[in-house]
Chains A and B, each alone.
Chain A
Amino acid sequence: MILKIKQFVIFTTVLLLISCKEEKTTLKKINGKEIPITDSIPEVDSIANFITPYRKRINQVLDSTLAYAPKNITKTDGEFNTTAGNLMADAVLELTAPIFKSRTKNNLDFVLLNSGGIRSVISKGNISARTAYEIMPFDNTVVVVSLKGKAIREMVKYLITSKKAHPIAGLQIIIDKNDSIKEVNIQGKPFDENKTYYVATSDYLIKGGDHMDFFKDHISATDTGYMIRNVMIDYFTKLDTIAPLIDDRFIKIED
């Protein structure tokens, strides 16, 4: 009798297991949430330790001193031109011109970047590659476009009305108290509307960034592949002291 029950039990168990296995399951309920990765969550040591040598190497490179800034450099210390803007535009002009010349045999006339592209101040003291990452975290490259006089005129109009000190170098704009143009000079010579000019800028602006629509009318474009951040790093490496000045590249004459 006991044996029979045992057999029955085993038999039903097998049967039940089979029937369970074959029973179709269906999606019944879904719920979802987001879990913030906060400080209360401990780190996995093996992961943290794995990252350490990678971080150390970065810090070593980024934090080695390249140059010195005797004063703070910001994009808000002038109305029409600023120390940070002048620094960036001058660096692009100085370091891109020879590359552009060797590739195309043409001379770079001037530089226009955007004020929004300067992402940080440079504080008085040592300058490192990390400084360049802070002021230019994006991987934008320098593009040289050729623009007809008409587009340059639109550009100057844009710069006068934008009320932002967009970085320029090689270009001089002098306006009167009514914001009318008194003088526009390129490479020290009066602007010639019949001429075509080579302008270095950021690939971001060519693609319509900051609504600099005059760039859409470019005749040709040469992407140098030179990242603006790397221009800054190279410029800091080349110079010992970084002390840009507010000058007369874009001024308003009040009388």
Chain B
Amino acid sequence: MTMNRRKFISNTTATSAFISLGGLSLNSCALNTQKKITILHTNDVHSHIDTFSETHSKFPNLGGVAKRASLVDSIRKENPNTLLFDAGDIFQGTPYFNFYGGELEFKLMSMLKYDAATIGNHDFDNGIEGLVSQLPYAKFQFISANYDFSNTIMDGHTKPYEIYIVDGIKIGVYGVGIELDGLVTKKLYKETLYLDPLEIAQDIEQKLKEDEKCDIIICLSHLGYEYQSHKIDDLKLAKQTKFTNLIIGGHTHTFLDKPTVVKNNNHTNVLVNQVGCFGVNLGKINFYFDSEKNIVADGISITV
């Protein structure tokens, strides 16, 4: 681009160069300030690697990693400023897991260039040893803020949050997981400590906003979409946080017609999304940026 512009200047008369350049510069300025970040996501894929058969009662001809791969490729071609996440329960559900212990799931997610995943309760199904033994096949980051693994062999293999800089936009991503007691037997999760996801989320989002100055804050959650009880869920988390823009959920296998918009503790809108289960859908969220002077007074508009 710069090269072409220089060539263009030197090959034309001064006056026309000036006018054309003026137009070009303004254009390039506008291009620089208008940015689009695409976030793709899955959850609860549960070892579903193949497309469901055409006779399947619920999901005929749906899903399949090789198809997801081409969809992700085409979206990345359209917008290279794309990140791909998973909200947990990668493991368990087909013989692929029983036979290979999650190796194929992790290898395929690496081939699809997933950026990160959080940990679901079923990812402990072969014990914490079973999870750790498959980590060499995962070329993506595990993000979990409220499981304290310090007294387990998982120690050091996760990060509470990760920051991605995409096209100059700073994206902070943190992860929260569900209480394991009652869902997973202790002999599987061992000395993993479950910490209050809400407190942790509030601490981390503040850090990501105020210290790290992130432009987008995303929560990868395996808490579940909604419970009638007091049990923490994605909707409650959205209401009680201040800086998180998007919660990518899992666990409850919730199929939503569209992402849910929730007012947070700052009275701004948060998106909560979940795409069912078994890899039959891919979630796609676009974030559009513009220069500050172009921002309308009513803040961020959300269309779903």
Chain A residues at the B interface, C-beta cutoff of 8 Å: 1-2, 5-6, 8-10, 12-13, 16-17, 19-21, 23-39, 41-48, 50-51, 54-55, 57-58, 61-62, 133, 137, 139, 203, 207, 223
User: Is B145 an interface residue when CB atoms closer than 8 A count as contact?
Assistant: no
Q: Contact at A139–B92, with CB atoms within 8 Å?
A: yes
Determine the distance from Cα of A59 to Cα of B212 in the docked complex, in whole angstroms.
50
A10 to B2, CA, bound (A): 11
Chain A to chain B contacts (Cβ below 8 Å), 13 pairs: A9-B9, A17-B28, A23-B29, A27-B288, A29-B300, A29-B302, A33-B283, A33-B284, A41-B70, A47-B65, A47-B108, A51-B49, A54-B104
Report yes or no: A47 in contact with B15, Cβ–Cβ below 8 A. no
B291 near A: Cβ within 8 Å? Answer: yes
Instruction: Say whether B291 contacts A26, CB under 8 Å.
Output: yes
- Say yes or no: A139 contacts B300, CB within 8 Å: no
Closest B residue to A23 by CB, please name it.
B291
Contact B304 A31 (CB under 8 A): yes
Taking the nearest CB of chain B, how far is it from the CB of A140, in angstroms?
Answer: 11
Q: Which 3 A-B pairs have the closest CB atoms?
A: A43-B66, A32-B285, A29-B288
Which chain A residues lie closer than 8 Å to B69 at the CB level? 43-44, 47
Bound-state Cα–Cα, A51 to B258, Å: 32
CB distance from B89 to the nearest CB of A (A): 14
- Chain B residues near A31 (CB-CB < 8 A): 285-286, 288, 302-304
- Cβ-closest chain A residue relative to B304: A32
Also in contact, A20 and B28, with CB within 8 A (given A39-B51, A47-B69): yes
B229-285, CB < 8 A from A? 245-246, 256, 258-259, 271, 273, 275, 279-285
B295: Cβ under 8 A from any A Cβ: yes
A13 to B18, CA, bound (A): 10
Contacts of B63 in A (CB 8 A): 37
Residue of B nearest to A45 (CB): B66
Chain B residues at the A interface, C-beta cutoff of 8 Å: 5, 9, 13-15, 17-18, 21, 25-26, 28-29, 32-35, 49-51, 61-71, 73, 92-93, 95-96, 98-100, 104, 107-108, 111-112, 125, 168-169, 182, 185, 187, 215-216, 245-246, 256, 258-259, 271, 273, 275, 279-292, 294-296, 300-304
B169 contacts across to A, CB distance below 8 A: 25
The answer to whether B9 touches A42, judged by C-beta atoms less than 8 angstroms apart, is no
Closest to B63 in A: A37
Nearest chain B CB to A73 CB, angstrom units: 21
Residues of A near B64 (CB, < 8 A) are 37, 43
List chain A residues, Cβ under 8 A from B303.
29-31
Nearest-neighbour CB distance to chain B for A26, whole angstroms, equals: 5
Of all chain B residues, which has the CB nearest A61? Answer: B99
Check if A25 sits within 8 Å of B104, measured CB to CB: no
Query: What CA separation (Å) do A26 and B168 show in the bound complex?
Result: 11
Q: When the two chains form their complex, are residues B96 and A54 in contact, meaning their CB atoms are under 8 A apart? A: yes
Contact between B286 and A30 (Cβ–Cβ < 8 Å)? yes
A30 to B73, CA, bound (A): 22
Complex Cα distance, B271 from A28, in Å, reads 14
Q: Could you say which residues of chain B place their CB within 8 Å of the CB of A21?
A: 32
Distance of A24 Cα from B289 Cα, bound (Å):
10
A37, B215: Cβ atoms closer than 8 Å: no
Contact, CB under 8 Å: A44 / B73: yes
With known contacts A27-B216, A30-B302, A31-B303, A37–B282 Cβ distance under 8 A: yes
Shortest Cβ distance from residue B84 to the other chain A in the assembled complex, whole angstroms: 13
Report whether A30 and B28 are in contact in the complex, using a CB–CB cutoff of 8 Å: no
B287 touches A30 (CB 8 A): yes
Question: For A20, what are the chain B residues with a Cβ–Cβ distance below 8 Å?
Answer: 28-29, 32-33
Q: How far is the CA of A23 from the CA of B294 in the complex (A)?
A: 11
Closest chain-B Cβ to A55's Cβ sits at a distance in Å of 7
Given known A-B contacts A32-B286, A54-B104, A27 and B245 have beta carbons under 8 A apart: yes
CA distance A217 to B63 in the complex (A): 43
Q: Is the CB of A30 within 8 A of B17?
A: no
Instruction: Contact check, A25 vs B215: say whether CB atoms are below 8 A apart.
Output: yes
Please give, as numbers and ranges, the residues of chain A lying within 8 Å of B302 by CB-CB distance: 29-31
Q: How far does the alpha carbon of A19 sit from the alpha carbon of B33 in the complex, in Å?
A: 11
Nearest residue in A to B270 (C-beta to C-beta)?
A30
| C-alpha gap A27/B287 in the complex (Å) | 7
Select which of A5, A9, A24, A38 is within 8 A of B61 by beta carbon. Answer: A38
